[in-house]
């Protein structure tokens, strides 16, 4: 029990510090594909529907559906160039 309390305190204290280091600010707009967003879908599964609502909100809908929306980070462009010839 004590170990869990210590872990919870550490997570609460360090969580705000880790977030800016791990993620880019996300912006959405009118055309998701035009901004580099891609949907990862799975065979024999209905895909989710993704639609932007303003610059900071994404509506996600689906019934018995599964998908992942993703976009390469601008910071990863150098990494992608390294693997382009592979």
pLDDT in tens, 13-55: 655 555 455 566 777 878 888 888 999 999 999 999 999 888 8
Joined together, the tokens standing for residue 5 give 């309390």
Residue 48 lies in a domain: yes
Residue 83 lies in a domain: no
- Asked if 62 and 47 count as a contact pair (C-beta separation under 8 A), the reply is yes
Question: Per-residue pLDDT tens for 54-76?
Answer: 888 889 999 999 999 888 876 65
Dihedral sign, Cα of residue 30, residue 31, residue 35, residue 40: positive
Residue 56 lies in a domain: yes
For residue 30, report the phi and psi dihedrals to the nearest 5 degrees.
-70, -40
Residue 7 lies in a domain: no
Q: What is the pTM of this model?
A: 0.55
pLDDT value of residue 49: 92
* Number of domains present in the structure of the chain: 1
Residue 53 lies in a domain: yes
Residue 10 lies in a domain: no
Residue 54 lies in a domain: yes
Say how many C-beta atoms besides its own lie within 10 A of residue 46's C-beta: 13
Structural domain of 29:
25-72
Joined together, the tokens standing for residue 57 give 């909100």
């Amino acid at each position: 029990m004590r170990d869990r309390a210590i872990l919870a305190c550490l997570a609460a204290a360090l969580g705000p510090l880790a977030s800016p280091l791990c993620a880019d600010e996300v912006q959405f707009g009118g055309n998701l594909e035009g901004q580099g967003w891609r949907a990862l879908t799975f065979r024999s599964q209905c895909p989710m529907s993704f639609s932007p609502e303003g610059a900071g909100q994404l509506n996600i809908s689906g019934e018995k559906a599964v998908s992942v929306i993703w976009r390469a980070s601008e910071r990863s462009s150098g990494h992608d160039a390294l693997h382009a010839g592979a």
